[in-house]
Structure 1
Amino acid sequence: MPRQRAAQATKKGKLMQKLALLAAVAALPLAAPSAFAQPAGDYNWNGSYIGVNLGQGNNADFDLDAELDVASGSTFFPGALAGGTFPTMRRFDGDGWVGGIQAGTNWHSGMFVLGGEVDVQLSDISSSIAIPNAPGGAANNPDGFTDLNFEVDYFATARLRAGVALDRILIYATGGGAYGRVDFDRNYRVGTAEITDSTTSDQFGWTYGAGVEWGMTDFWTLRAEYSRVDLGSDSFDTSYSDGTIGRATIDTQFDVIRAGANFRF
């Protein structure tokens, strides 16, 4: 139970920090001037903007691919593996909220709108799993366990946008590069020894998606957007207390559905 309470306290602390930052970001539009009347005529999408968004990350896949060089004197991996290698591949599913800021510029000509946008997102997309008896299994480690936790701490994208403007309605596709940070925490017990370690994985990949935006006034727009984010993979060293060492790779990808508001200037 102490390990569970400690893990919960750490996760709660991270969540509170993210929520505080998100609340500060969400207050930005309140400082901007408002426009309450839209003049007649065709809506013009030209110009720059900054805004906020909030949404949900779904269908997250954390793919863990590791190969361990098991120590010859290992006491908790199966005896047949001692002095050899132990490959493992697992997929962990997760979800969570996302929220952040975006900024960009549009060029409007006729029905067509081209633009570029960058965004930075705080994230609670995560997956946790508890594996009884591991490492080694029930025969070698009957009172053991392994707890694994994956979490996308934050991510950012830089994208192009291309769309068709139907007066106040903009329908667009978007795509570009992505960067994110994935936290990997591991807590395990062998015999009476409980060991906790963690690593941070900086990952680069790509994103694509589509959305619809409504020009509410000259200054304000509202949007809804779907995107697929693939952060690619990153490798790191891993080890166990019996001298077993190895190399692990985490590949991370997820869907994002979010709504947002932009202030144009």
Structure 2
Amino acid sequence: MFAKRISGLALPTISMILAGLSPQAAGAADLPVAPPPVFVAAGVNWDGFYAGFHGGFAVGSSTWSSPTGYFAADRGLNVPPDVPANGAQSGLLGGLQLGYNRQFGAFVLAFEADASFGQLDGYAVCGAVVGLAAPAATPFLRGSGDPCHASTSALASAAGRFGYALGRTLIFVKGGLAYGSDHYSVVNPAAFAANPAQGSADRFGWTVGAGLEYALGGNWSAKGEYDYYDFGTRTISFNVPGYPGFNSFLVRRDQHLAKFGLNYRFADAGGGDVSAPAPAFVNDVTGEFGGRVGFSNGRFQEYLYSPSNAQELVSRLTWPNQTGISLESFARADHISGVFAKGYFGGVDLLGSHMNDEDFPPDTNPYSNTVSTTSNGRDFYASADLGYSFLRGSSWRIGGFLGYHYYSQRMNAIGCTQIGSAATKGCSVPPNTLFLGQTEYWQAARVGLGGDVLLTDRLKWSAEAVWLPYISYLGKDNHWLRDNINPQYDHGHGVNGFQAESVLSYALTERIDVGVGARYWLFQAQHGSTNFPSGGGPSPESFTSTRYGVFVQASYKFGEVAAPPVVAKY
């Protein structure tokens, strides 16, 4: 399974590398550099059939409502089920596209069909089935807050595209029909933890989107786009163990997709109508864009203190070794004045590890430490910077920048086992039961310094160090077996986070680079709190999240490429 994920996610990046190879590409650092791609003088012609690959990240939601049958069973006097409920649904994806362009002057009409595959999933707090029975003394007690799970294994669309060709760039919008293959389940820890209610559906809807496609030379082009899929609301029937009859929910589904990839056009690049000329200022801009596939590890810790004594540690949650596979797109544009803009966005499918939930005396006596397995976690991140290269030479540059970073992470803990002292009470959660969920949202200001230097005429080293002077934090804890804190929200802020990145890249041709890199992130919110339903005032908290890893990348240089300087070879 691990190898299958790696090969599926690496395909778009490998395709980009192969696209840049040409018969003139040098095999050693001292061979001549291949000439840049040759385009039609007046612009680019987009006519013809094309096919390609893409990868990306999806973020969506499932909204559950209107239960029937067993799902609508009463849990106490006049107490309805805890629906409607909404849950996030996200994950990495990769796939194929096939289309046809017809160009009329600078305008391009097209039809495109694509298919994407991945494992997009998430949970909603439905409380939709009969949980623990309501005691006679408290007939208004709600049920268990059960997890309703939605997953999507495939998405597809058939859409028309309308574009305007400007220089080497095709700007387009699209719209058409959408398809999704969904599976649903509802788990009741009390009644049928080992045998959840199951349902599935082929969902049909509509999609709209927009994006950019850039001619790389010859018949190759690279694209990036955003698509929105809306599948509307549909009745989903479930097979509930031991409860025959009609048991259903209304489930609304939608999905946001960010995709980047490569296309190959099966036609002569010349002849016919061509793009409109690009604006003059484009001649003053150079840069690069590309994709990355990576492997990383992360750790999250949450410290909870007593509301009456901020120095007394009550509980600590630790999510160590949250390894994952990432897929990312990045870009940088440099103006001749030295001003530059850069950014990246990506996602991580977490492979799973474990979680420790510790409770400390005197609040819990004796000390308790339970361990749970983790699975199906997801990360999403994005960064944008604006800066100025204040020191520049023929083979190096250094610049400063200001920017913004967003990072979210969702993790799930399943089952639990007590590993504390022998006197500690055991944990009775079955090993296949969703026990605890943690979702963290970080936003940070970035102040950074970075640069790059040519080590040889083909080998370049880039690095940057970033200070995060202010960080905001929002957390959501889902205690799935405790309906009164499902979810429980945490708020906080912090200072002095840190990010660092280093990349070593090699020029395969004058336009195409490949490279390897590493990065490290530290987020911390030293000042946080939460309010429990039992009262007693706000409980102080602190939070720390780290992620570090390595990646491989492929990139394309755009704009006028200067002749490489003569530099020392080591």
Kept in 2, the 8 Å contact 1:148–1:186? The answer is yes
Structure 1 length as normaliser, TM-score? 0.77
1:45 equivalenced with 2:40 (yes/no): no
1:226 equivalenced with 2:221 (yes/no): no
Cα distance per residue 1:213-240 (max 9 Å; x no partner):
1001121101110111112333232346
* Equivalence for 1:259: 260
Kept in 2, the 8 Å contact 1:18–1:122? The answer is no
Corresponding letter in the other structure for 1:260: G
* Equivalence for 2:558: none
CA distance in 2, matches of 1:47, 1:96: 33
Structure 2 length as normaliser, TM-score? 0.38
Kept in 2, the 8 Å contact 1:68–1:86? The answer is no
Q: CA deviation at 1:112?
A: 0.4
Cα distance per residue 1:12-58 (max 9 Å; x no partner):
x6x87565555568767788896673244121100111111111112
Aligned alpha-carbon RMSD (Å): 3.5
CA distance in 2, matches of 1:133, 1:172: 43
1:57 equivalenced with 2:54 (yes/no): no
1:247 equivalenced with 2:248 (yes/no): yes
* Equivalence for 2:476: none
* Equivalence for 1:97: 92
Q: CA deviation at 1:138?
A: 6.3
CA distance in 1, matches of 2:208, 2:224: 14
Q: CA deviation at 1:243?
A: 6.0
Q: CA deviation at 1:118?
A: 0.3
Kept in 2, the 8 Å contact 1:22–1:100? The answer is no
* Equivalence for 2:153: 153
* Equivalence for 2:168: 168
Distance 1:193 1:164, change over 3 A: closer
CA distance in 2, matches of 1:90, 1:200: 18
SS in structure 2 of the partner of residue 216 of structure 1: strand
CA distance in 1, matches of 2:4, 2:66: 32
Q: CA deviation at 1:68?
A: 2.2
CA distance in 2, matches of 1:109, 1:133: 55
Distance 1:214 1:65, change over 3 A: same
Q: CA deviation at 1:137?
A: 5.1
Q: Which runs of 5+ in 2 are unaligned?
A: 23-35, 136-140, 267-570
Could you say which structure has the higher helix fraction?
1
Cα distance per residue 1:128-149 (max 9 Å; x no partner):
2467896245635999673322
Q: CA deviation at 1:70?
A: 5.2
Decide which moves more: 217-226 or 122-131: 122-131
CA distance in 2, matches of 1:235, 1:87: 18
Decide which moves more: 234-243 or 222-231: 234-243
CA distance in 2, matches of 1:133, 1:70: 9
Distance 1:80 1:219, change over 3 A: same
Cα distance per residue 1:229-265 (max 9 Å; x no partner):
1123332323464667532122110211111111111
Kept in 1, the 8 Å contact 2:15–2:262? The answer is no
- Pick aligned residue for 2:103 from 98, 105, 108: 108
Rg comparison, structure with higher value: 2
- Tell me: higher relative CO, structure 1 or 2? Use CA pairs within 8 A at least 6 residues apart: 1
CA distance in 2, matches of 1:156, 1:255: 13
CA distance in 1, matches of 2:70, 2:210: 47
Distance 1:70 1:226, change over 3 A: closer
CA distance in 2, matches of 1:143, 1:252: 25
SS in structure 1 of the partner of residue 67 of structure 2: strand
CA distance in 2, matches of 1:131, 1:205: 24
Q: CA deviation at 1:97?
A: 1.5
* Equivalence for 1:3: none
Q: Which runs of 5+ in 1 are unaligned?
A: 1-12
Q: CA deviation at 1:189?
A: 3.0
Q: CA deviation at 1:113?
A: 0.4
SS in structure 2 of the partner of residue 189 of structure 1: coil
SS in structure 2 of the partner of residue 150 of structure 1: strand
1:177 equivalenced with 2:177 (yes/no): yes
Corresponding letter in the other structure for 2:228: R
Distance 1:182 1:77, change over 3 A: same
- Pick aligned residue for 1:78 from 46, 67, 75: 75
Cα distance per residue 1:160-201 (max 9 Å; x no partner):
000110121100100100011111122213368743232211
Distance 1:97 1:148, change over 3 A: same
Kept in 2, the 8 Å contact 1:66–1:87? The answer is no
Decide which moves more: 154-163 or 28-37: 28-37
Corresponding letter in the other structure for 1:229: Y
Cα distance per residue 1:46-88 (max 9 Å; x no partner):
0111111111112x120112322359xx9x8425469xx8693
Distance 1:94 1:16, change over 3 A: farther
1:195 equivalenced with 2:195 (yes/no): yes
Kept in 2, the 8 Å contact 1:202–1:234? The answer is no
CA distance in 1, matches of 2:263, 2:63: 35
Q: CA deviation at 1:212?
A: 0.6
CA distance in 1, matches of 2:143, 2:233: 33
Decide which moves more: 90-99 or 26-35: 26-35
* Equivalence for 2:445: none
* Equivalence for 1:122: 117
Identical amino acids, percent of aligned pairs? 24
CA distance in 2, matches of 1:200, 1:188: 18
SS in structure 1 of the partner of residue 217 of structure 2: coil
Kept in 2, the 8 Å contact 1:25–1:101? The answer is no
CA distance in 1, matches of 2:199, 2:126: 19
Distance 1:124 1:221, change over 3 A: same
Kept in 1, the 8 Å contact 2:63–2:85? The answer is yes
